[in-house]
């Protein structure tokens, strides 16, 4: 399946995206749909009908579903109803190093703590690019891999969406969606402040090294 530019697709479906936000009454849901590069299942795989209808089933490029059930959002990770072989990536910057992604971003959100079994540091790091798309990376057992921004969960996505104009950094003392203990979440603008960099150096060295030269 050939995939058009995700920005072109979202522009074409702008009214449907806004309908989803209005129906759910979730503030800035339009931003979340676009930032996570979500696509409506029926439109992509069934009929490309431009009628203004409420698309309840959206999916991302990692095989996760984002569904509107009544007025709530249900995220299904690794949804087996989706045929991953038919899902086409639309992120032009997929696979770039963390350093390069950081340089091309304006906000960073990360949550983490220690693995509840091995008690090893684990982090979920998410950048908001200058293109307004989210890119997430999971550090587990010392290794980074790119993952879906939906792993942040709706609380984290709403938190980012409501603080796009942040000038410093915020800390939230709560467990993330990761299976971690002693969890914390942070949101900061990029380039990060000296105070935030010092906090990272003291408490989160794997994250500090990504930003120390920025």
For residues 113 and 170, membership in a common domain is answered with yes
In which domain, by residue range, is 33 found?
A: 6-86
For residues 151 and 184, membership in a common domain is answered with yes
Give the end of a domain, one of 24, 56, 86: 86
Sign, CA torsion 180/181/187/190: negative
pLDDT confidence of residue 11: 95
* 88-101 burial code (b ≥16 CB/10 A, e <16): eebbeeeeeebeeb
pLDDT confidence of residue 3: 42
Distance of CA 114 to the CA centre of its chain: 21
Higher per-residue confidence, 43 vs 47 = 43
For residues 115 and 184, membership in a common domain is answered with yes
**pLDDT of 52-102, one tens digit each?**
999 999 999 999 999 999 999 999 999 999 999 999 999 989 989 998 999
Task: Return phi, psi of residue 151, to 5°.
Answer: -65, -20
Give the end of a domain, one of 58, 86, 114: 86
pLDDT confidence of residue 182: 57
Give the end of a domain, one of 86, 110, 144: 86
Q: What is the pTM of this model?
A: 0.89
Which of 19, 133, 155, 144 shows the shortest CA–CA distance to 75?
A: 155
| 93 lies in some domain | no
Alpha-carbon distance 12 to 30, whole Å?
A: 13
């Amino acid at each position: 399946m050939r995939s058009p530019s995700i920005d072109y697709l979202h522009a074409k479906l702008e009214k449907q995206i806004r309908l989803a936000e209005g129906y759910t009454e979730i503030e800035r849901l339009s931003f979340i749909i676009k930032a996570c590069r979500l696509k409506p299942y029926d439109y992509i795989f069934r009929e490309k009908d431009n009628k203004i209808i409420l698309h309840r089933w959206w999916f991302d490029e990692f095989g996760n579903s984002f569904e509107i059930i009544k007025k709530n959002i249900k995220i299904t990770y690794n949804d087996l109803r989706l045929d991953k072989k038919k899902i086409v990536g639309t992120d032009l910057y997929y696979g770039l190093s963390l350093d390069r992604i950081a340089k091309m971003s304006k906000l960073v959100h990360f949550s983490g703590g220690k693995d509840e079994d091995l008690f090893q540091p684990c982090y979920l790091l998410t950048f908001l690019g200058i293109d307004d798309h989210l890119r997430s990376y999971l550090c587990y057992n010392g290794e980074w891999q790119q993952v879906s921004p939906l792993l942040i969960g709706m609380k984290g996505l709403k938190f980012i969406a409501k603080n796009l104009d942040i000038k410093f950094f915020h800390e939230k003392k709560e467990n993330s969606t990761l299976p971690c203990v002693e969890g914390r979440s942070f949101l900061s603008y990029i380039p990060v402040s000296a105070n935030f960099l010092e906090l990272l150096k003291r408490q989160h060295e794997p994250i500090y090294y990504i930003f120390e030269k920025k």
